[in-house]
Chain A
Amino acid sequence: MATAAKATKYVGKPIKRKEDPRLVQGIAHYVDDLKLVGMLHMGIVRSPYAHARIRSIDTTKARSAPGVVSIVTAEDVDGAIGPVPCGAMIPDMKPAPRPVLATGEARFVGEGVAAVVASDPYALQDAMELVEVDYEPLPVVVDPEKALRKDSPRVHDVHADNAAYRWELEGGDIKKAFKQADRVIKVHLTNQRLIPVAMEGRAVLAQYDRGDNRITLWSASQIPHILRTQIAAMLNFPEYGVYVIVPEVGGGFGSKLNVYSEEALACYLAMKIEKPVKWTEGRRENFLATIHGRDQIADMEFAVKRDGTVLGLRAHFIADLGAYFQLLTPLIPTLTGLMCVGPYKIPNVRAEITGVFTNKMSTDAYRGAGRPEATYFLERGMQAVATELKIDPAELRRKNFPKAKEFPYATATGLIYDSANYQGTLDLALKKSEYKKLRREQAAARKSKTGRLMGIGLGSYVEICALGPSSAMPSGGWESATVRIEPTGRVRVLTGSSPHGQGEETSFSQIAADLLGVTMDDVIIVHGDTSAVPYGIGTFGSRSLAVGGTAMYRAIEKLRDKLLKIAGLVLSEDPANLVLRNKQIVSKRDPKKSMSFADAVGAAYTAKALPPGVEPGLEATHFYEPTNFTFSFGTHIAVVDVDPETGDVKLRKYIAADDCGNVINPLLVEGQLQGGIVQSVGQAYFEEAVYDDQGQLLSGELADYAIPRASDLPWIETYNTVTPTPVNPLGAKGVGEAGTIGATPTLVNAVLDALAPLGVRNIDMPLKRERVWKAIREATAGPSGRPRRAK
């Protein structure tokens, strides 16, 4: 294994990105930058009600507005466009397919009611205001716990109640664990609803060519091939006539890992009008009608021994799914269930999930997707255990980690963790943060009269990455690559991965160049064009390098073997003795025996003297099916000061010690971690999708939904250990979501650690100033003379 890591011209080095020159010059193209002759603009009229019967829609005025070309409602597309697909299947799940335009009823604020097409975006805005919809408001349910009550309004009339499904998982002997426990420690926690907020909203451009009966769809997507298949299915159009192209994408974080009604509507309208149709999402629409994430409530009980050993965990999760199912909506919470024991040896577990319908936008995969929730709940639980048992949180974790030699490690939830050294990242984090010194400083602060509230938070995590074996994935969990060495010796890699900021053009080039002994400039990575690239799955779930990169690796191996065979014949040398290096094929035994890479490539194409059984040409395809997930892990430490007067949290220091296996490019890994950690700062301290009880999204603009700004953050230090995975030949695990998984509980635990002497045990995220201030006030007898509240 790790042959890729052995040839080290590029792999493992902090190489600057190949994609950057075009991006920093402003000459890269995102969907909204594209313009086609005769292009029209689509807009969606959206429901202002969270739940309403649509009595009628009057489009007469809008139709006669200047520039308007077409208007369609549910009635017009009925039978022509199928509902938004959902790929998740859970036994006894109640279906909640989303029609591309609200049919009969609207079930959340922002649901599309009509699509308007006009000649220019300004005329479009004017016309959309003229569409008159007569709504009859219906009772609304927003709170998932209330939605489960018998008397709750129902989101879907056809279902008896709002419980979309129940899912459960049990491992070990949970009853026995609780019988043997010295203590049972309970927590009730909320992981609030978040909005992904990629800086580029969604954008779609559809073109129809009647001569070829072909639809070309440019979309800001993470999954071009799945999108192609689903669009073909929704429109009942032959898949070979659908071409999806994903140009530059301005961030996704899971929000573009979906199939959306606007994509199908734009294709339908482009066909109907026979003109290209573009739709660019406004920021307000992005808040209302692009998938949301998280939104789970957990009740957990930890069965523990006095010494801190966790014997068992009982967990019940309520997952707010919103009104309809998008591509993976019901599936995401099950990842919370699967990962609920985290990096700990918890041999007995019972997890239950209740998925709930509410009159809100669908939740789905937002960076981490189910795992940040699991980790947050578990790590908050571990903090509670440490506090209750008066054990240092670092020691509590160490006590419950499986040892490095116990891997591969089988969890009670049925997963096999591939490889790890949890103590290693914990020790590294403790050392780099000078943990003991921090604790001494904290003890001194607690004794002093200044009232300074200093907190040290820990969070350990394990991340299920490289999604994943096909057995566990609705769409299949493999990835594809075709590698073509062209007659001039340049290498074209076609990958089914679909990067949107992760830098795979760079990391894949590093691997390919090393394997073939060429330069990175000799390699081009092509992605996101379904007519060029073999069928692929896409980029999400920290999978592109570990799964897509391995597909490429395997395809290159096939070509390498072929080239060496050809060179072996020319050089009269056993191919086993030949290596590719610096654009040469050289014998390890006899360096005089060598030929240029270009000549060997040329020989494959001119095909005059090929070894028996070797086909001409140099192209290979590999569909790589992983045998397991990979599991990255780490420990993070945050240090905060809380101002007792204002509730202000000052994040002073942040240390991350992570292990994502072999690192192909440390610059990119660092970038992923930094970005992920800061999204966690957002969840921990600032961000929350707030709906009022009528289902209006109150935090529906960037002004009200605070994503972190540059000045909100301290210097973040990242460190790593390297525990390669045995699952793939690269030894790489995945890092795209590690930051959002490990950091959120760390940041909250730090604040709770600061407030622990006051008896504060919980504050719900986000830990905004007023919430922290209120918790401090309620815990201490404030000037109002309110009594100290028992916790």
Chain B
Amino acid sequence: MGVEIQVHVNGKSFQNEVDPRLLLVHYLREVLGLTGTHIGCETSLCGACTVLIDGHPVKSCTMLAVQADGAEITTVEGLSSLPEAGGGLHPIQEGFWEKHGLQCGFCTPGMMLAAVGLLRENPSPTHAQIRRALDGNLCRCTGYQHIVEAVEYAARKLRAHKR
């Protein structure tokens, strides 16, 4: 009944037999114990569960674990091991800390991964572009303005890093 999958999560390889109906977010949280990826709705509306799949932000509650077979996944726990983090906090994590981009922190992992996805495609986004890119990620605490500033902070830092 179980289906064999192999995934690379935060640079490590995992092989598991999973129930075909297991959601990817449950696989990450319950099977791998990576609880930094949160669940805010399970209906692909809130973005709390956003992870990077092959470099692109994806809501991990919209996907089955079996569909992720062979994929390269980055969760919040893996942000600081990305090359641009330089061994410390990733610039986006730093940005959220510096700019008070989080309050309760529940939306934050998903927000940060959506932002990393944006910055890979557009290293110098305008405020409007940041806001649009984060429209699939809901935050009830911050009112978003500090999140916009956090993403700008990370963009600046990442651009400097590239130079």
Instruction: Give A residues with C-beta under 8 Å from B.
Output: 16-17, 19-21, 23-30, 32-33, 121-122, 197-201, 248-251, 253, 280, 282-283, 500-503, 667-668, 670-671, 674-679, 701-703, 707-711, 713, 715-716, 739
Contact = CB atoms under 8 A, between A and B. Distances in A.
Interface residues of B, number: 57
A716 B140 contact: no
Given A674-B146, A710-B135, A713-B145, A20 B96 contact: yes
A713 B97 contact: no
B82 interface: no
B143 A674 contact: yes
Given A16-B97, A709-B138, A28 B105 contact: yes
Nearest to B37: A26
Contacts of B77: 25-27
B64 interface: no
Contacts of A121: 26
B21 interface: yes
B66 interface: no
A26 B34 contact: yes
Nearest to A27: B36
Given A199-B48, A677-B143, A710-B131, 18 more contacts: A21-B97, A24-B112, A25-B79, A25-B93, A199-B141, A200-B104, A249-B104, A250-B107, A282-B42, A503-B103, A678-B143, A709-B144, A710-B147, A711-B132, A713-B131, A713-B144, A716-B145, A739-B143
B119 interface: no
13 contacts: A23-B102, A25-B89, A26-B34, A26-B76, A27-B36, A27-B77, A30-B106, A199-B104, A199-B106, A251-B141, A253-B140, A671-B100, A711-B131
Given A24-B89, A251-B104, A702 B138 contact: yes
A677 B108 CA distance: 20
B140 A26 contact: no
B140 A199 contact: yes
Contact of A670 (B22, B48, B100, B140): B100
A200 B106 CA distance: 6
A431 to B, nearest CB: 21
Given A710-B131, A710-B134, A715-B145, A701 B43 contact: yes
B52 interface: no
B97 A17 contact: yes
- Interface residues of chain B: helix, strand, loop or mixed (majority): loop
B141 A122 contact: no
B105 A197 contact: no
A678 B138 CA distance: 12
A785 to B, nearest CB: 40
Residue picked from B19, B42, B97, B104, most chain A C-beta under 10 Å: B104
Contacts of B109: 26
A250 B105 contact: yes
Contacts of A26: 34-37, 75-77, 79, 109
A713 B145 CA distance: 9
Interface string B140-163: 111111111000000000000000
A573 B42 CA distance: 65
Interface of B: 19, 21-22, 26, 29, 34-43, 45-46, 48, 75-77, 79-80, 89, 93, 96-98, 100, 102-109, 112, 127-128, 130-132, 134-135, 137-148
The 8 tightest CB contacts between A and B, nearest first, are A26-B36, A250-B106, A501-B104, A23-B105, A26-B76, A678-B143, A674-B143, A501-B103
Contacts of B21: 122
A628 B83 CA distance: 55
B111 to A, nearest CB: 9
A199 B138 contact: yes
B108 A24 contact: yes
A708 B29 CA distance: 28
B30 to A, nearest CB: 8
Contacts of B45: 283, 701-703
A716 B138 CA distance: 18
Contacts of A711: 128, 131-132, 134-135
Contacts of A501: 103-105, 141
A23 B142 contact: no
B2 to A, nearest CB: 13
Contact of B103 (A25, A29, A671): A671
Given A674-B143, A711-B135, A24 B102 contact: yes
A19 B142 CA distance: 15
A24 B93 contact: yes
Nearest to B93: A24
Contacts of A678: 142-144
Contacts of A122: 19, 21-22
Residue picked from A29, A32, A200, A667, most chain B C-beta under 10 Å: A200
B117 to A, nearest CB: 15
B32 to A, nearest CB: 12
B97 A671 contact: no
Contacts of B79: 25-26
B96 A197 contact: no
A707 B141 CA distance: 11
A670 B89 CA distance: 24
Contacts of B35: 26, 29-30, 32-33
B46 A25 contact: no
Contacts of B147: 710
Residue picked from A282, A667, A671, A678, most chain B C-beta under 10 Å: A671
Nearest to B105: A23
A679 B139 CA distance: 10
Contacts of A282: 42
Contacts of A20: 96-97, 102, 105
Contacts of A702: 41, 43, 45-46, 138
Given A19-B105, A501-B105, A713-B131, A668 B100 contact: yes
A675 B142 contact: yes
B41 to A, nearest CB: 4
